[in-house]
Amino acid sequence: MKNLRTEIVINASDIAVWKVLTDFDAYREWNPFVHIEGRPALGESLVNTMYLDKNGKSQIFKPEIIRWDEYKGFSWLGSLFVPGLFDGEHYFELERLDDNQVKLIHGENFTGVLSWLIMKLIGEKTLAGFERMNTALKIRVEAKKMH
């Protein structure tokens, strides 16, 4: 298994972070890494358009939400072509530090026969995409808090 993990501290409540993180319809307004079509709920199938770099090239994948723990975190599971070749469990965890500060843990666990090869090809770009999303989320949530 190959793991990618990022963290960022956001100066807002867990409720404020959760509201922005789970408002999939608004991702196009602020998220440079992934746009999501679908309902934010356990068992829902999504259509995600991922942007690995800033040149606008995208990849579409169709994961299913496999964990939904309100105000604490969620994850989805997606596969390349067929399950077992290259599978990714993408996750978001909110760790409440105090009333107005949250640590977002954002990552993905990759498994499958081709995981080592694909991660060698896109691992660095994927990690950079997670970090771009984290920064954009922080800016969006903290700006909303000021209004």
Could you give the 3-state DSSP secondary structure of residue 26?
Answer: helix
The pLDDT value recorded for residue 56 is 67
pLDDT range class, residue 81, cuts 50, 70, 90: confident
- pLDDT tens digit sequence for 98-114: 999 999 999 999 999 88
pLDDT range class, residue 115, cuts 50, 70, 90: confident
Per the structure block, which two tokens stand in for 134?
């984290």
Q: Are 16 and 140 in contact (CB under 8 A)?
A: no
Amino acid at site 34: V
Phi, psi angles (nearest 5°) of residue 84: 105, -20
Residue with tokens 């970090």: 131
The pLDDT value recorded for residue 47 is 97
The pLDDT value recorded for residue 122 is 84
Question: What global pTM score does this model have?
Answer: 0.93
Q: Are 127 and 106 in contact (CB under 8 A)?
A: no
Class of domain 2-146: alpha beta
Q: What is the mean pLDDT of residues 52-81?
A: 90
Length of the chain: 147
Q: Are 42 and 65 in contact (CB under 8 A)?
A: yes
**Up-side HSE of residue 130: CA atoms within 13 Å toward CB?**
19
pLDDT, greater one: 121 or 65: 65
Distance CA 73, CA 12 (A): 16
pLDDT at 147 over 70: no
Phi, psi angles (nearest 5°) of residue 51: -115, 105
- pLDDT tens digit sequence for 10-41: 999 999 999 999 999 999 999 999 999 999 99
Distance CA 76, CA 69 (A): 12
